Amino acid sequence: MNDKAAPAIVPLASRLVLLSNSELLDSALRQHLLDHPHCRLQRARTLRAEHANCELLLLDVGSFSHEDCLQLLRKVGDTPIALINALPDQARQLVEQHPWIRGVFYRSTLRSNFVSGIHTLLAGGDWLPRALMEKLLLRYRQMTHADQAIDALTLREKQILALAGKGLSNAAIAQKLHLSTHTIKSHIHNALRKLGASNRAHGASIVLAHVCEPAL
């Protein structure tokens, strides 16, 4: 019979990497995580290959320009990443361009919410402010509606709106496609009705934003 006590199981520390130029932010986050020794925070000014092995990257939006943030986001690969010290508009633009961002912490985020968010992210979840989630959902619905509406357009309607988006008048489009001006107006009217667009410029912008210019 073995009377030795079983060794205590000590959870491995999760390594968090803060990409930031701010020593003040680094110090504040360490204070936030003081009661959570399983979270080990490291600050770096640049993204290095070894950071790919960390459990979570925290990108300090306040330390970098928008373009620098975009470049860093392109390099992170599959490593989970969250934005920190962000303003709402900054966060929205970056998440729209890089939807794999897992979390967002605004400058006004409370300590308790930050800690809860970190735990959620380390557990494989997402942590996004409610208002941001609502805006992203609205954008997704608008894009889905636009995609469905564009699918309902005929090839000729797409061609005409694409040309209208390039600044061609109805007469110029008619001449280019060897059609009458009346036929062009009819196609534009039908296309705008399908898209729910208010005018030809609005309809053209929807088409050009979602499809490549159809072959003429």
Residue 215 domain-assigned? no
Question: Is 44 inside a domain boundary?
Answer: yes
> Which residues 6+ apart lie within 8 Å of 73 measured at CB?
59, 81, 94, 97, 98, 101
Query: How many CB atoms neighbour CB 47 within 10 A?
Result: 18
Report the distance separating Cα 166 and Cα 187, nearest Å. Answer: 17
Residue 198: which CATH number?
A: 1.10.10.10
Say whether both 61 and 100 belong to one domain. Answer: yes
In-domain check, residue 169: yes
Residue 7 confidence (pLDDT) above 50 = no
Same domain, 26 and 121: yes
Confidence of residue 208 (pLDDT cuts 50, 70, 90): confident
Same-domain check for residues 38 and 113:
yes
87 and 161 together in one domain: no
How many CA atoms lie less than 13 Å away from 126 in the CB half-sphere?
A: 10
- Give the span between the Cα atoms of 174 and 95, in whole angstroms: 41
Please check whether residues 78 and 153 belong to one and the same domain: no
**141 shares a domain with 41:** no
Task: Note whether residue 8 is domain-resident.
Answer: no
- The answer for residues whose C-beta is within 8 angstroms of residue 158's C-beta and 6 or more apart is 150, 191, 207, 211, 214
- Residue pair 118/33 in contact (Cβ under 8 Å)? The answer is yes
Q: Is 132 helix (H, G, I), strand (E, B) or coil?
A: helix
Residue 124 shares a structural domain with residue 143: no
Compute the distance between CA of residue 186 and CA of residue 157 in angstroms, rounded to an integer.
10
Q: Provide the 3-class DSSP secondary structure of residue 160.
A: helix
> How many structural domains comprise the chain?
2
Q: Are residues 99 and 186 in the same domain?
A: no
The whole model's pTM is what?
0.66
Strand order in the sheet with 14-19: 39-44, 14-19, 56-60, 81-86, 103-106
Domain boundary among 109, 128, 147: 128
Confidence at residue 116, expressed as pLDDT on a 0 to 100 scale: 95
- Same domain? 93 vs 157: no
Q: Give the model's pLDDT for residue 214.
A: 52
Q: Which domain holds residue 49?
A: 14-128
- CATH code, 53: 3.40.50.2300
Residues 19 and 100 placed together within one structural domain of the fold: yes
Alpha-carbon Rg for the chain, nearest whole angstrom, is 26
Residues 57, 91, single domain; the answer is yes
**61-116 confidence digits (pLDDT tens):** 999 999 999 999 999 888 999 999 999 999 999 998 898 999 999 999 999 999 99
Interval 136-193: pLDDT, tens = 888 777 777 777 888 889 999 999 999 998 889 999 999 999 999 999 999 999 999 9
Could you tell me if residue 177 is inside a domain? yes
